[in-house]
Structure formats: structure tokens, C-alpha cells
Structure 1
Amino acid sequence: MAAILILNLIFIVIVVGAFGIWLYLLFILKKSFDKSPIIKGGRDNTTNCDLLSVIIPARNEEKYIENCVQSILNQSAKAYEVLIVDDSSEDSTLTIVESFKNNPKVRIIPAGPKPDGWIGKNWPCYVGYKNAKGKYLMFTDADTIHSNNSLTDSLNTLLLEKMDVITAVPRLMYPNFIIKMVLPILSIFMFTRYSPMRVNDPKVELGYLFGSYFVITRECYEKVGTHESVKNEIVEDGALGKKLKEEGFKLRMYRGENLIDAFWARDFSTLWNSLKRLIVPLFFTDKKNSILIAVGIFLLMAFPYLMFSYSVGFYLASLVTDISYIFLLVVSVMCIIAIFGTNFYQLKRASTHKSIYGFGTPVGCFVVSISFLWSILTSQNRAVIKWRGREYDYNKPVRT
């Protein structure tokens, strides 16, 4: 009995800690939504002298590329060019974008074979830059949809705020049932850790870019070393943002849900690989920290549900009333309510899809937790991430 009591007390402490963290996350989430800056609207600063080059790296984007390009061509801005860099697509992406080749604003550029050491979309981004004529560069993904004022407002904000680079948190699109249940719970952590308030705080070392939407002066991009400086990073936007802030460039993040819609995952396969992209690279640079994160996520997301089942099951099966089970049940219920409440709040404020999907919170918690733990456990033998029809093996010393 004494051993059971001690074990239950340990469980209670862990769940109470998780409960406190969820309350903290809710507080930070509310603060981020309320106080994060929004990109300013204004006059068109895209004059002939200040050309804006929009660079779109594209690989196997036949389902999305047409809508993306069309949304950029529908801009209120006037002096801009669009560079579509085809990264050896194996579907009809190139055929689709060639329908825009007669538009004077559009240039279609083949990325060609990747040189050794380059991975992900770093190479097509770099090729786009080498062919760009603009004083300012916008990098965006081929599966994004831009509002009519996206270019005007972003450049206007960059100039008014006298920034070197600005980025914006997009409004995420959730294309199917499972993603609508899983991604919102992950977004809580992403929006609290990489919130504009933290990135914009000069006292916080954290720097970050959303690869789907950032505008940078050509001078700054060249000084930081272009995408070549992060050529072997699969999460290149985070790596480039970190480098920019470390080197003292003026970086600012905004809320941009009024300007851009973007996908983070399109189906369960891309969702699973997207989750692996978050943890596997960290495993090979900071193994101890990656393990702590994976275990921490499990204790925050999945553990309270397991303790609820454990406390109910063992209490009902016990012939003698044990108050430790009751305490564990109570704190587990409190923590689960906090998890649900935080997720429902995030869904309501983000306005991405119906809040009813918040009832899928347990599914999201377990999928994220299991994916992180599984990625850590299997990375030592096979750390393969599949992305846009390519495989990247982190066990190899040279990643190409």
C-alpha cells in the first residue's frame, strides 16, 4: 500500500505540474492574440525604383500552385515581379505554371540539380534570389493564398517600421478531418513559443521566420549569407530567422491571418513528416534537449488522459477506498479541462475552422506525443524524413 501511495503521489505531482503549465499556456496564448502587432495597411510603396521580387519555390505543387500564383497576380501593388522556381517537379507543376509565362510579371526558372550539401527548398530559394531584380525580396510557399493587399501592406510595414526583415504568422488551412483535430493542439505550442511577442523582444534570443511569408531587404539577405548559410537545414526558416536575430538585424514578426492562408500539412503522411521535422533535426544537434522535449510533450498532452483512466480503473477495482486515487482523478480532470479549454480558446480566436473539432483534442494530444517519442526512439537507426517526394536521412554525415 505504501508503494502505491508513493507512486500515486508522484503521478499527482506530475499532473498538477501539467495543469499549471496549461494555465500558463492559456495566459500566454491570450496575451499573444491580444498584443501581437498586425501588419499595417497603407500606400503602395512598390515604385519602379523599389521593385519587390516575389520568389516561389515549387516542387510537386500541382494542386496548389495555380491558386497561389493567381492570388499574387491579383495584387493591388504595381511594381513587382514573380519568380516561380521549379525544383525538378515530377508532377504537372511546370505545365501549370507555364500557363502564366505570357504575363510580363512572371518568370519561370528551373532550379536544376541540387549541389552537394543543399537540402529542402533552400536551393530553389537561392536560385530565385540569384535571378531576382528587386531591392526587396518576398519568399512565399507554393501552397499559400495571398489577399489582394499582401505585397503592398508587407512592404509598407517594412519601410514604415524601418526593418530589415518582417515575417507574419499565416492563417493555417486544415484540409481534412484528422488535421483539424491534430494541428490546433500543436499550434498552441507553436504560437506561444514562436509568438510575435517573444520574437520581437530584444531581450529574448529567439529569432524565427515563417517560410510561407517573409519580406527582406536584398542587402540584409546578402549580409546574413542568403539561404546558402542554412543550406543543410530542413527547417530553414527557423534557422535563418535565428541567424538574423543573432547577428543583430532588425527582425519583426506580425500576425498575418488577414493577408495569407497557408498549409502546414495536407494529409496524415505530410502531418507525420512535419512533426518529425520538428524533433529529428534537434535530436542530431542536441540529443538531451530533444529527449526532454519529447518526454515533456508526452507528460503535458497524453499523460493526464492516461492518469484519468488509471485512477478511475484502479479506484473502481479497489476493495478498499484509497484517497490517493480520488486526488489523482480530481487533478487529472482539472488538467484535461484546462487542455480542452486552451484548445477551444485557440480555435475560437484563430477562426480557422469550427470549434466543434476541439472535441478531438485527445486525438491531437496522442498523435503529437506519439510522433515525437517514436521519432526519438527510431532516429538512432533510421532518421528519414520524407518531404515533397524526397528522402533526407539524418544518419548520413553529408545530407544532400
Structure 2
Amino acid sequence: MVAMLLYQIVVLLSLLLFLGILLRNMIDLPGMPEHCPEQGVLVSVLVPARNEALNIERCVRSLMRQEYAPFEILVLDDDSTDATPELLRRLVVESGGKVRIVQGEALPDGWHGKSWACSQLGHQAKGELLLFTDADTTHKPDALRRTVGAMQASGADMLSLMPHQELGSFWEKLVVPLVHVILMCYLPLRFVRTSRRAAFCFANGQFILFRRECYTRINGHAAVREAIVEDVWLCKSVKKAGGTVVAFNGSDIVSCRMYHNFREIWEGFSKNLFAALGYSTPGLFVLILMISALYLVPCLFFSYALIAGEFTVSLFWLPLMQMMVALLCRIFIARIFRQSLAMTLLHVFSQVVLLAIACNSFYAIKFGKGASWKGRNYNFS
């Protein structure tokens, strides 16, 4: 009984620690500045696109409406087999030359597709600032102006932000918010800027702004050519080169619809999860144990206590407190990032799905064809 009590206390203290990190991160993840110049240095907005017929028009049109000058828009067609090339040609005409198409070259051995596409865009860009943004993003008219202002005010070499995640289907609402849980509860964001340690890195590939000098110094995306989670590894490269990275809450200026159904969620998260752990089997094992201990086991203890009628501190009250702290974290995150409050009640089920994805990610890399995305398979483990 003593061992059980100690176990339950350790779990509760761990959850309280993550709640404390979350509360601090609510301060350390600032919103974008409001009052920023409408003119400044040339910004190259760089969009890799592979089979993005569903998204590319909305993305590019939102970029064309930016309240900032001067800027250029370069979109790389990465061997698309859908209507993306035709749509891009229409957008070029519509933009009056503001949009330029870069025809992607064949993917070399040892490169991840997105890194190769971004590398080609970086070489074609003319700007002093380079903004890499995904084709499934949408940008408010003041997005570029406020982002450049934030970069200038911070003096950073690399800026990334967390966009608003558009969540349509049930599965999107259940699983995608876990990205925010990982960011806000497990990573002390102030150390992203103040610490040189690679453990404290954040970047979101949906929106990353570089100073060209820094991007060149780290050898651009060639530095992360094999990285599936290239955004975080770019942050590590910048820190290693002595640069400064800053993070912002950009949910009021940029939005993104990452996935549209369960299949896309399964493939996308499976592609990234094991890779984000550096293909570390012990790291994955620790993650599975942590998720189970913090979110699943408390529910099992609580359910057993209700069924057996044993309302003891170890079996009922401490697990209840653990569940309430975990729920409180989800509620705070839902309020910050404008997510469904009702879906926070299904937090434990989202963690069950995450465990299944973790196992699939491990299996695909170790015993399958590797990570699969947009018709390509990768295995750099």
C-alpha cells in the first residue's frame, strides 16, 4: 500500500509539474505585435507544394493580399500529379507576376522531399528574409507585416510560430490538439530563446522566418536533408551555429488545416513521431510508459474504485486528482488555441490513439517500408 501511495503521488506531482510548465508557457509564448511597419526589407515567401490542389489557391491568394512591401512569392511544384500545376499557372496570371513558379528537380538520394523542395526555393529566393510556409496555411493580410516586425524587435535569426489549427472532422478535434499539449506542457518555451541546449528547441514547419545570413550559415535545408521533422532540426542547427530562435503564438494571423480525416492523421503522425524522438527505441518506450502512467492508468484505477466501491486515497482520490489536473491542462490549451472545450473530455481517448500511432510509427520504421508521405517512403533511421 505504501508503494502504491508513493506511485500515485509521483504521478500527481508529475502532472502538476506539467501544469506549472503550461502556466509559465502561457506567459512565454507571446502573441504577435500589433503595430509594425508596412515597408521594410525584401521578404521571399517560399511555398513547397506537392499535390496541393485542395489548398494551394487559398494559400497563395492569402499571401498575395499581404499589407507589406516588398515581398515575392515563390511556389515550388514538387512533381505534382494532381491539378496543382494548372492552378499555379492561373495564380501567376492572377497575381500580375507577383507569384513565381519553381519547377522542382528530381529528389536526390538521402534527401527528405520537403527539405529538398525548400532547399531549391532558398536558392531561388532574392529576399533578405526567407519565409518558409506550407501550402495548407492561410495568412491574414497583416501576417507578413507583423511577423517581420516581431523579427526586427526580437533581433532573432529564426522565428517560428504556432498557427491556429483548423479542425473539421471528429478525429482532427480528438488528435491534433495533442501537438499543443506536447508543446505547452513538456517544453519550457523560454529556454528556446535563452538556452543553447538542443533539448530546448521549437519550430513549426508550417511557418518559419529566417534571416538569410543565418540560413546560409547553417547551409540551409541541406543541414537537415535526412530529417523527417526538419523544422525542429533546423532550430537545433541555428542554435549550434550560435543563432537565436524565438517562438510566438500566431493563431490570430495564420491558420492551417493539416489533415482532413483519420487516414491522413494516422499517416502524418506516424511519419513524424518516431523521427521526432531521433529514432530512439528507449525514448519511444519512455514516451509510451509516460503516456500510460499519466493519462491511462489513473482512469483504470478510478474505474476499478467505482466498480469495487473502494474509495481509498490510492485507488480513488489521487487518481481523481490526476485526471482533473490533466483535464485542466487540456482546458487551458483549448482556450488559448480556440479549440473545442467539449473534446477535452475525451482526452484519455486521444492518448490511446497516440499510443497506437506511436506503435505504428515504430513498426513502419523498424519493420516496414519506412515513413510514408505523399507517395514517397523514407527510412533514415
Counterpart-to-counterpart distance in 2, 1:155 and 1:284: 32
Is structure 2 residue 62 aligned with structure 1 residue 76?
Answer: no
Aligned pairs for 1:114-263 (under 5 A) are 114-194=107-187, 196-202=189-195, 204-205=197-198, 206-263=200-257
**Structure 1 SS opposite 2:69:** coil
2:373 corresponds to which residue?
387
Aligned counterpart in structure 2 of residue 356 of structure 1, from 342, 365, 370: 342
Is structure 2 residue 268 aligned with structure 1 residue 268?
Answer: no
Is structure 2 residue 271 aligned with structure 1 residue 277?
Answer: yes
Structure 1 residue 354, shift from structure 2 partner: 2.8
Letter in 1 for 2:88: V
Distance 1:374 1:303, change over 3 A: farther
Is structure 2 residue 293 aligned with structure 1 residue 299?
Answer: yes
Structure 1 residue 203, shift from structure 2 partner: 6.1
**Structure 2 SS opposite 1:83:** strand
**Contact (CA 8 Å) 1:283, 1:291: kept in 2 or not?**
no
Aligned counterpart in structure 1 of residue 35 of structure 2, from 42, 46, 67: 42
Structure 1 residue 122, shift from structure 2 partner: 0.5
Structure 1 residue 127, shift from structure 2 partner: 0.9
1:89 corresponds to which residue?
80
**Contact (CA 8 Å) 1:41, 1:157: kept in 2 or not?**
no
Letter in 2 for 1:141: D
**Structure 2 SS opposite 1:63:** coil
Structure 1 residue 326, shift from structure 2 partner: 6.1
Q: Over aligned residue pairs, what C-alpha RMSD do you find?
A: 2.3
Counterpart-to-counterpart distance in 2, 1:270 and 1:230: 24
2:44 corresponds to which residue?
53
**Contact (CA 8 Å) 1:81, 1:106: kept in 2 or not?**
yes
Letter in 2 for 1:144: T
Structure 1 residue 377, shift from structure 2 partner: 5.5
Structure 1 residue 285, shift from structure 2 partner: 4.2
Structure 1 residue 76, shift from structure 2 partner: 0.5
Is structure 2 residue 329 aligned with structure 1 residue 336?
Answer: no
**Structure 2 SS opposite 1:101:** helix
Q: Give the TM-score taking structure 2 as reference length.
A: 0.91
Letter in 1 for 2:67: S
Letter in 2 for 1:71: S
Structure 1 residue 231, shift from structure 2 partner: 0.4
Matched positions, count: 378
**Structure 2: gaps spanning 5 or more residues:** none
**Contact (CA 8 Å) 1:291, 1:376: kept in 2 or not?**
no
Counterpart-to-counterpart distance in 2, 1:89 and 1:276: 23
1:398 corresponds to which residue?
none
**Contact (CA 8 Å) 2:42, 2:69: kept in 1 or not?**
no
**Structure 1 SS opposite 2:100:** strand
Structure 1 residue 114, shift from structure 2 partner: 0.6
Counterpart-to-counterpart distance in 2, 1:199 and 1:275: 23
**Structure 1 SS opposite 2:67:** coil
Counterpart-to-counterpart distance in 2, 1:299 and 1:59: 39
Structure 1 residue 163, shift from structure 2 partner: 2.0
Structure 1 residue 29, shift from structure 2 partner: 1.4
Letter in 2 for 1:25: F
Structure 1 residue 181, shift from structure 2 partner: 1.9
Q: Give the TM-score taking structure 1 as reference length.
A: 0.87
Distance 1:375 1:269, change over 3 A: same
Counterpart-to-counterpart distance in 1, 2:125 and 2:9: 54
**More displaced stretch, 31-40 vs 194-203:** 194-203
Compare CA radii of gyration and give the structure with the larger one.
Answer: 1
**Structure 1 SS opposite 2:177:** helix
Distance 1:305 1:359, change over 3 A: same
Structure 1 residue 31, shift from structure 2 partner: 2.0
Q: Once the two structures are superposed, what CA deviation does each residue of 1:236-259 show, in whole Å capped at 9, x if it has no partner?
A: 001111111122112211121121
**Structure 1 SS opposite 2:75:** strand
